[in-house]
Structure 1
Amino acid sequence: MTLLVENYSASDSERRVNHLICLGKMSAEGEIVKLVSSDQETFEVERGVATISNLVSHVLEDVGEDEKLIPIPNVEARILAKVIEYCRYHHQLQTNPQADEDVEKWDKEFVRVDKPTLFSLILAANYLDIQALLDLTCKTIADMIKGKSAEQIRSEFGIENDFTPEEEEEIKRENAWVEER
């Protein structure tokens, strides 16, 4: 029997995993893998959860069964904690299925974060090769810009307009078909 205890210190939009205690005999699925963030925080994660990441899965295949400490140099601890939260939730759906509406509701709440965190989640999902998380976070950005003008998008994301008026006019002419929709 495996007993998992998670201790969260939660803010409204972010949960940090502080400890994971595993007791009892563990199968390969329940083995613990240690992920080390870019800021050197170590996260103990069940193998089945960790291997939702194709990167982690390939690293474990390449280094063999003895190595359980995996550096994740491109992801800081607060973002890695969110990624692990996502992976745990979606991993448990394999044994405890939920209605699609409930999963969609959970996913929607999961990405209800500030823009810098959302962009960091996109980068982490891409680096860790977690396609479902990448799709979810990119769709969230797409929904934010849907139906907005270039100027509104620039304003929303703090993007400086570095086009000359002539370049802008040329782009509008080349893409006139977009306005016809």
Structure 2
Amino acid sequence: MITTMSKETASSSSSSSKMISLKSCDGIIFEVEASIVMKMQTVMNLIDGFDDIATIPLPNVLGEHLAMIIEYCKYQEATVTKEAKEKFEVDFVNRMSNVTLKHLIRAADYLDINSLFNFLTQVLADRIQDMGDDD
């Protein structure tokens, strides 16, 4: 089911479980809770730019990467302990290659998710530092 929404709908539905459709550049459609979408400033700007939009296209984000971004945002929204958050973040970055990390940084920048962008760029800096330590 594809939902139609306006910015007011997205803002007022953050406490409910209203779903918003996001479409990656490779055609994969994700039904995402409004509270997660509100973390994506680019998407919120698209919603603001159109009265009603059924599916929000994200031409610069592959489905594989959007899935990871949604996973990260959902986990960050959940009430968890600091230790659980740190474990999730370690597991999250350890399973990705440098190429995937690069794509996620670009996607986080495009979507304007500052917390994810800052986290991933720190991971990249740490990886570069670790490469220098091997010499």
TMscore range, shorter length: 0.7 to 0.9
1:39 correspondence with 2:12: no
Q: State the structure with bigger RCO (CA 8 A, min sep 6), 1 or 2.
A: 2
Q: Structure 1: 5+ residue runs without aligned partners?
A: 1-26, 153-181
Shift of 1:50: 1.2
Q: Distance in 1 between matches of 2:37 and 2:30?
A: 10
1:88 to 74, 93, 100: 74
Q: Which has the higher helix share?
A: 2
**What is the distance in 1 between the residues matched to 2:54 and 2:39?**
15
CA–CA separation in structure 2 for the residues paired with 1:129 and 1:142: 20
Question: RMSD between aligned alpha carbons?
Answer: 2.0
Cα shift readout 1:99-137 (whole Å, capped 9, x = no counterpart): 212111111211121111111110100000011111111
In the TM superposition, residue 61 of structure 1 has moved relative to its aligned partner by: 2.3
**Shift of residue 62, structure 1, vs aligned partner:** 2.4
Q: Is the 8 A contact 1:79 1:120 kept in 2?
A: yes
Segments of 4+ moved more than 3 angstroms: none
Q: Which has the higher strand share?
A: 1
Q: How far off is 1:148 after superposition?
A: 4.8
Deviation at 1:36, TM superposition (A): 0.6
Aligned length: 121
Equivalent AA in structure 1 for residue 13 of structure 2: A
TM-score (normalised: structure 2): 0.80
Structure 2 residues not aligned, in runs of 5+ = 1-11
Q: What is the one-letter code of the residue matched to 1:137?
A: L
Corresponding position of 1:104: 86
